[in-house]
């Protein structure tokens, strides 16, 4: 394992280029299972989760060639229908091969997924939607077993206890593209990553209306073609670097950040006093050190993203006054609170709400990442803290951020990666 050594207090300066979206890339790679033709996806970040998805596709019989950030997939003649535990258990997004396999091969055996430890994230909406399309499903030995003679379009409601499901919507949308007849998905997810997937499916010949709205209408087709597509920039990486500039009081240009994907984040940053503006091809943050406390509630898109909650908390720990952060997507997603406390942060948890009393500055300390976004928050805290911090379990960070230590070094941060004992 590795850790990141961070000597805090150094301002960042320059321009950082945002990588392609991991959360858009993974379901698009799975969409290749819906066709027999060549598929090309460009701008894919070389992350651990992407490598896991490639291993799953190869295990199914898809020929995959990765050249830098360009991935070419040849699914012609693939025969596999099983995604095993040893692969799926490491990454939740791998479960989105279920819909394409059922639609294309009429059967599938997919292990129940793993991923970050941020509380229960059931797959009931995935199963509900596929069952509505006509798939026969059962859970046995930790696997979902699916079979169908024919998928048929229908109208379904995919809302859950904490709102819509991005991967659940993706799974059902992909399957519905090859179902007979018309499918209407109500309470569909609206995230930009899902819209990017819809654009790819439309390039493949699918008939989809309403992408980016809560109601998706899909007219099934008999066959889907290959595609060539460039994935959208990663809005969570963009938001993380905007906050990196804020916590360090730095002037930074974030190239590739799309303001239209970051509305709720930009709203809260500006409410907190962060001076951020759009510019051609990206966004710019201007240096400022005096911030205002804010109240943040995570919600499905276009609300404030749960994947930015921990990073926003890193800023609030050093903002005068009391900020309140309420988690309505994953109520248990506060594993980073104890580690921020090791750096001097004053945070009180009351159920799904964190009450943050800001202090002038955090102190460097050894901390341990518990999940992907928690690791980003700890790095942000370390960049702004007095003294040196060690962020261990760096593999969490590597699941979602492309060469983040190299990007920080280029911006002037004092960071280095080391092997742990």
pLDDT 10s digits, 7-36 = 999 999 999 999 999 999 999 999 999 999
- Decide if pLDDT at 133 tops 70: yes
Q: Is the dihedral of CA 397, 201, 67, 95 positive or negative?
A: positive
Predicted pLDDT of residue 281: 87
Task: Say how far apart CA 266 and CA 186 lie, in whole Å.
Answer: 28
Judgement on whether residues 51 and 198 belong to the same structural domain of the protein: yes
Q: Cα separation of 151 and 160, whole Å? A: 23
Residue 115: pLDDT above 60? Answer: no
Sorted by sequence, the CB contacts under 8 Å of residue 276 that are 6+ apart come out as 242, 266, 269, 270, 283, 284, 285, 286
Residues 238 and 331 in one domain: yes
Give the C-alpha distances (Å, rounded to integers) separating 266 from 30, 260, 309, 316: 31, 10, 13, 15
pLDDT at residue 209, as a whole number: 98
pTM of the complete model beyond 0.85:
yes
Average pLDDT value for the chain: 94
The percentage of residues in the chain with a pLDDT greater than 90, rounded to a whole number, is 87
Average pLDDT value for residue range 42-46: 97
Pairing of strands 207-209, 295-298: unpaired
E-state strands within 329-381: 346-350, 353-357, 366-368
Last residue of a domain, one of 203, 230, 257: 230
Query: Taking the CB of residue 51, how many other CB atoms lie within 10 A of it?
Result: 12
- 114 pLDDT tier (thresholds 50, 70, 90): low
Based on the fold, state whether residues 252 and 272 are members of the same structural domain.
yes
| Co-location of 212 and 279 in the same domain | no
Residues 239 and 160 both lie in one domain: no
| Co-location of 75 and 201 in the same domain | yes
3-state secondary structure of 174: helix
In this structure, is residue 1 part of a structural domain? no
| Token pair listed for 86 | 């040893």
Pair 104, 178: CB distance under 8 Å = yes
Instruction: Please tell me whether residues 89 and 31 are part of one structural domain.
Output: yes
Check pLDDT > 60 for residue 108. yes
> Residue 153 belongs to a domain with what CATH number?
3.65.10.10
For residues 419 and 6, the answer to whether their CB atoms sit within 8 Å is no
**Averaged pLDDT, 356-363:** 97
Task: Tell me whether residue 21 is in a domain.
Answer: no
Question: What's the CA gap between 271 and 304, in Å, rounded?
Answer: 13
Q: What is the pLDDT of residue 188?
A: 98
Kindly tell me if the per-residue pLDDT of 117 is higher than 60: no
The question of whether 116 is a catalytic residue gets the answer yes
Both 34 and 147 in one domain: the answer is yes
Strands 107-111 and 82-83: parallel
State the pLDDT at residue 90: 80
413 vs 13: CA distance, rounded Å: 9
312 DSSP β-pair partners? none
| Domain C-terminal end among 210, 230, 250 | 230
Contact indicator for 316, 308 with CB cutoff of 8 Å = no
- Count other C-beta atoms under 10 Å from residue 124's C-beta: 11
CB 312 within 8 A of CB 296: yes
Could you list the residue range(s) of the whole structural domain that residue 288 is in?
A: 233-386
CA distance 308 to 333: 11
Name the pLDDT band for 320 (thresholds 50, 70, 90): very high
> Could you give the count of Cα atoms lying within 13 Å of 27 in the half-sphere of its Cβ?
28
Please classify residue 127 by burial: count the beta carbons closer than 10 Å to its beta carbon, then call 0-12 exposed, 13-18 middle and 19+ buried: buried
CA atoms of 369 and 367, how far apart (whole Å): 7
- Which of 39, 96, 116, 177 is an active site residue? 116
Residue 16 host element (H or E) = strand 13-17
Residue 251 has pLDDT above 90, yes or no: yes
- Closest alpha carbon to 317 in 340, 339, 298, 297: 340
Claim to verify: residue 240 and residue 362 sit in the same structural domain: yes
């Amino acid at each position: 394992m590795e850790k990141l050594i961070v000597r805090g207090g150094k301002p960042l300066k320059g321009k950082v280029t945002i990588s392609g979206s991991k959360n858009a890339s993974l379901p698009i790679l799975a969409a290749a299972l819906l066709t027999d033709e060549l598929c090309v996806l460009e701008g894919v970040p070389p992350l651990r989760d992407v490598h896991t998805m490639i291993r799953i596709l190869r295990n199914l019989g898809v020929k995959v060639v990765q050249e830098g950030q360009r991935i070419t997939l040849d699914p012609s003649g693939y025969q596999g229908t099983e995604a095993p535990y040893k692969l799926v258990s490491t990454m939740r997004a791998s479960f989105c091969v279920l819909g394409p396999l059922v639609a294309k091969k009429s059967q599938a055996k997919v292990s129940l997924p793993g991923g970050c430890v941020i509380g229960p994230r059931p797959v009931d909406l995935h199963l509900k939607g596929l069952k509505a399309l006509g798939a026969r499903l059962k859970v046995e030995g930790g696997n979902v077993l699916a079979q169908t003679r024919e998928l048929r379009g229908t109208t379904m409601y995919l809302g859950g206890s904490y709102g819509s499901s991005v991967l659940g919507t993706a799974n059902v949308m992909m399957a519905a593209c090859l179902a007979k007849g018309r499918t209407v998905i109500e309470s569909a997810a609206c995230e930009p990553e899902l819209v990017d997937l819809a654009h790819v499916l439309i390039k493949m010949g699918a008939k989809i209306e309403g992408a980016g709205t809560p109601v998706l209408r899909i007219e099934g087709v008999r066959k889907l073609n290959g595609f060539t597509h460039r994935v959208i920039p990663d809005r969570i990486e963009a938001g993380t670097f905007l906050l990196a500039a804020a916590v360090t009081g730095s002037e930074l240009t974030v190239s590739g950040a799309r303001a239209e994907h970051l509305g709720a984040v930009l709203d809260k940053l500006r409410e907190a006093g962060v001076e951020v503006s759009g510019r051609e091809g990206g966004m710019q943050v201007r240096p400022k050190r005096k911030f205002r406390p804010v109240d943040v509630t995570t919600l499905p898109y276009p609300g404030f993203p749960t994947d930015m909650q921990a990073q926003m908390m890193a800023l609030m720990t050093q903002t005068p006054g009391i900020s309140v952060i309420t988690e309505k997507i994953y109520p248990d997603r506060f594993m980073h609170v104890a580690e921020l406390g090791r750096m001097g942060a004053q945070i009180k948890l009351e159920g799904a709400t964190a009450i943050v009393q800001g202090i002038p500055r955090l102190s460097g300390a050894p901390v341990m990442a518990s999940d992907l976004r928690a690791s980003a928050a700890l790095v942000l805290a370390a960049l702004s803290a007095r003294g040196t911090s060690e962020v261990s379990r760096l593999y969490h960070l590597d699941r979602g951020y492309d060469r983040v230590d190299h990007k920080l070094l280029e911006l002037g941060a004092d960071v280095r990666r080391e092997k742990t004992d």
